[in-house]
Structure 1
Amino acid sequence: MSKKILIIPSWYPNTDNEQVGTFFHEQAQLLNNNGFDIKILFGVEKELGFFEYLKTRLKQICNKDNAVNITYLKQDPQAYAFNIYHYKKWRVKRKLKKSKKSYQLAFNSITEHWQPKLIHGQCGANGGIYAHYLSENTNIPFVIIEHQTFILDYYHKKIQRGIRKAIENASKIGAVSHHQERCILMNNMNCNPDIIWNLMDENKFQIDTNKTNDKFTIATITNPLLIKDSETFFKSLEAFQKICKDDFEAIIIGNDAFNDISKANSSYFESLAKKYNVFDKCKFYPQVSRSEINIYLQRCHVFVSTSIAETYGVAIREAMLCGKPVIATKSGGVEDSITVEIGVLVNIKDAHAIAENLLKIKNKELIFVPEDIRNHIINQSGKDAFIKTMTDFYN
């Protein structure tokens, strides 16, 4: 009989944004098809003004509108969503208490005929906190895999305490890189994390040199958050333009629509491109499907990441599955996969080092074997490797 696992993600693909948390969905889907019985439970937290909150609560009471649904989240495996409404002026303590109770009610409704043997919180904030709460009330063991940049001071003190209690009481803790493990332990957490590299599905990304552009092409996937340091990317293009005699092209995939993909645009990146006089070299793609990412990656000659910190680096490894060499800053999680045989690591914010290595790759002073790059990632975190790692982690 398949082991029943309830996953509580901190974000998940939904009808408002199909791109957010896609790796959570892909991991759950693979496990559900390979020896596990997986279900997803996710509360959609919404903060309302006073009268809107009263109106919503009255509607809930009159219509008994507290049920979970399978229409909001991406399915396969079965994923249950439910709404959690907060009055926006409530204190964090009250909001957290309300959310915990809402998770318990939703849990009760989906476990009448299906009882998990393990609860898996994806990230301490706040999936791990809710997993811990449910575990305390049901005596079902729970585990946490931490994916986010682990800076406790970012959170309210009440959330900080919740994260610490969850991590220190979990049956097992996973970290998606050695950098992430170090960050967790630097916060004086009483735990011993296992390294659980994210799934990199080799079937979704392929080598196809026939689709590579004739013009030398650089690609990046980013967002406007400070931690991605997009400005250094455009600085590196400016520096490259000064030392490269031939024409080149840059593909920039990304936007700032973290909640609503319909609002996706490239205005932030376009302004940086103009600032550094490389706008005419750039093509911007604010909204790209998973399948389209594969196509754009195959067009490029090299992928560049300029992050200040990466807990893992999904986009970087997707490019590597396409056989593309990567120039990346020493941002943490990427360092587990990039060696001198398959890519280049440079210091954070070193735009000139990026430009110099772009020129070496263009001029074939640096040569990498696409199959070696791809196989390195498959051996580390491809489908078979991920299933084995998670089977051990869940046991």
Structure 2
Amino acid sequence: MSKKILVIPSWYPNAGNELGGSFFREQAQLLNDNGFDIKILFGIEKELKLFKYLKIKLKSVLKRNGVNRNYLMQDPEAYSFYIYHYKKWPKKWKLKKSKQSYQAAFKTITAHWKPELIHAQCSANAGIYSHALSTSNNIPFVITEHQTFILNYYNKKVQKGIKEAIENASKIGAVSYHQQRSILMNSMDCNPEIIWNLMDENKFKINANQANSKFTIVTITYSQLIKDTETFFKSLEAFQTISKDDFESIIIGNAAFNNGSKANSTYFEALAKKYNVLDKCKFYPQLSRTEINSKLQTCDVFVSTSIAETYGVAVREAMLCGKPVIATKSGGVEDSITAETGMLVNIKDAEAIAQSLLKIKNKQPVFNPKNIRSYIIKQSGRAAFIKTMTDFYN
């Protein structure tokens, strides 16, 4: 009989944003099709002003909303419910209300299906809620940590909840050695296992027939400083001065990570203009996974300029397409970049990125696309991921 796993994600693809947390869904979907019985439970937390909060509270007395399958992307079964907070409540009250709401939703979806294990995707705040469910229902729980682990970023009550969750979980997974080190540097009494994120080789392919006439550089980013997009445009300016031939750069991303309707490229266009490379750039605020695949297949190199990467999904997607990568020494990406798969440079070193671009353009060295792709499949492809998670869940 398939082992029953309830996944509590910290975010998840939904009707308003199909890309956010898509890798959580893809992982759950693969496991659900390969020996596990997976369901998703996700609370949508909203902070309201007093009048609106009281109005919704009155409605909830008259008619309970409960859980539903209308908001989250399905396959596997995914249930959502709303958690309303009065915005001026202290964090302690909000956490208590959220834990109570998760318990009520848990009772609803487990009336005829009881999980054997709860899996929190990220400690904040899924780990906190999974710990509460575990305690109330006597079910073990595990956590996989994906987010940049800077504990003092959070409210003191949340910090306490994260620490208690991590130190009481049956197992802790970290998506890279950098992430493992980050967790332990925060004085957590645990022993994180390395759990590479799934890189689905069926979704990204090498296509030798697709190529651009110009040397083409791709990056996938967003506007937060941790991505250090300014260094990317600085490197294009530097590359422009040493490259004899024309080139183009494709910038995929926007400044509206959680709201696709507001996606635009204004921030990146301003940087491109500042560094005199606007005519070399094409901007795509939002693309589907299929469209991203197409852009990766037609480029010559992928560049990542992040300050910190817990894992580096976009980097490895490019590698699944057989593309060499130039990346800053930002943590998680370093676990997959070798002399055979790409080049590593120091953080904020735009000149080193430009020189690396020139070497790849001049085919010095020559990278083998099949070897790059095989490296990622062996590390975290479908079969490797299923085996890793089977061990993690046992």
In structure 1, what is the equivalent of residue 309 of structure 2?
Answer: 310
Whether contact under 8 Å (2:322, 2:370) holds in the other structure is yes
Q: CA deviation at 1:260?
A: 1.6
In structure 1, what is the equivalent of residue 84 of structure 2?
Answer: 85
Q: Say yes or no: does 1:16 pair with 2:16.
A: yes
Q: Output the CA distance in 1 between the equivalents of 2:219 and 2:262.
A: 20
Superposed, which structure 2 residues align to 1:173-322 within 5 Å?
A: 173-322=172-321
Partner amino acid, structure 1, of 2:182: C
Q: Output the CA distance in 2 between the equivalents of 1:371 and 1:71.
A: 41
Q: Say yes or no: does 1:39 pair with 2:43.
A: no
Superposed, which structure 2 residues align to 1:303-382 within 5 Å?
A: 303-382=302-381
- 1:209 match: secondary structure: coil
In structure 1, what is the equivalent of residue 29 of structure 2?
Answer: 29
Q: Output the CA distance in 2 between the equivalents of 1:363 and 1:209.
A: 18
Superposed, which structure 2 residues align to 1:53-64 within 5 Å?
A: 53-64=53-64
Q: CA deviation at 1:258?
A: 2.2
- 2:334 match: secondary structure: helix
Q: CA deviation at 1:259?
A: 2.0
What do the CA deviations read for 1:295-334 (whole angstroms, capped 9, x no partner)? 0101100000000000000000000000000000000001
In structure 1, what is the equivalent of residue 131 of structure 2?
Answer: 132
Partner amino acid, structure 2, of 1:123: C
Q: Output the CA distance in 2 between the equivalents of 1:268 and 1:260.
A: 16
Q: Output the CA distance in 2 between the equivalents of 1:140 and 1:256.
A: 40
Give the aligned length.
Answer: 394
Whether contact under 8 Å (2:43, 2:80) holds in the other structure is yes
Structure 1 gaps, min length 5: none
Q: Output the CA distance in 1 between the equivalents of 2:61 and 2:246.
A: 64
Partner amino acid, structure 1, of 2:230: E
Structure 2 gaps, min length 5: none
Q: Output the CA distance in 1 between the equivalents of 2:255 and 2:134.
A: 35
Whether contact under 8 Å (2:172, 2:193) holds in the other structure is yes
Q: Output the CA distance in 1 between the equivalents of 2:308 and 2:111.
A: 42
Q: Output the CA distance in 1 between the equivalents of 2:54 and 2:2.
A: 44
What do the CA deviations read for 1:209-266 (whole angstroms, capped 9, x no partner)? 2112121000000001111101000000000001111110000001122222111111
Q: Output the CA distance in 1 between the equivalents of 2:270 and 2:298.
A: 24
Q: Say yes or no: does 1:121 pair with 2:120.
A: yes
What do the CA deviations read for 1:256-306 (whole angstroms, capped 9, x no partner)? 222221111111111111111101100000110111110010110000000
Q: Output the CA distance in 1 between the equivalents of 2:11 and 2:107.
A: 21
- 1:274 match: secondary structure: helix
What do the CA deviations read for 1:84-107 (whole angstroms, capped 9, x no partner)? 001111111111110000000000
Whether contact under 8 Å (2:236, 2:277) holds in the other structure is yes
What do the CA deviations read for 1:108-167 (whole angstroms, capped 9, x no partner)? 000000000000000000000000000000010000000000000100000000000000
What do the CA deviations read for 1:48-77 (whole angstroms, capped 9, x no partner)? 111011111111111122x10101001000
Whether contact under 8 Å (2:253, 2:284) holds in the other structure is yes
Q: CA deviation at 1:364?
A: 1.2
- 1:211 match: secondary structure: coil
- 1:210 match: secondary structure: coil
Q: Output the CA distance in 2 between the equivalents of 1:212 and 1:49.
A: 53
Partner amino acid, structure 2, of 1:373: I
Partner amino acid, structure 2, of 1:43: G
- 2:202 match: secondary structure: coil
Q: Which runs of 4+ in 1 moved over 6 A?
A: none
Q: Output the CA distance in 2 between the equivalents of 1:351 and 1:153.
A: 30
What do the CA deviations read for 1:181-206 (whole angstroms, capped 9, x no partner)? 00000011000010000000000000
Whether contact under 8 Å (2:7, 2:120) holds in the other structure is yes
Q: CA deviation at 1:357?
A: 0.7
Partner amino acid, structure 2, of 1:81: S
Indicate the RMSD between aligned Cα atoms, in angstroms.
0.6
Partner amino acid, structure 2, of 1:32: N
Q: Output the CA distance in 2 between the equivalents of 1:168 and 1:230.
A: 36
- 1:331 match: secondary structure: coil
- 1:388 match: secondary structure: helix
- 2:20 match: secondary structure: coil
Q: Output the CA distance in 1 between the equivalents of 2:12 and 2:257.
A: 12
In structure 1, what is the equivalent of residue 7 of structure 2?
Answer: 7
TM-score (norm 2): 0.99
What do the CA deviations read for 1:6-57 (whole angstroms, capped 9, x no partner)? 0000000011111100100000000000000000000000011110111111
Q: Output the CA distance in 2 between the equivalents of 1:99 and 1:226.
A: 30
Which stretch shifts more, 255-264 or 174-183? 255-264
Q: Output the CA distance in 2 between the equivalents of 1:38 and 1:153.
A: 33
Q: Output the CA distance in 1 between the equivalents of 2:171 and 2:151.
A: 20
Partner amino acid, structure 1, of 2:153: Y
- 1:18 match: secondary structure: coil
Q: Output the CA distance in 1 between the equivalents of 2:371 and 2:166.
A: 37
- 1:153 match: secondary structure: helix
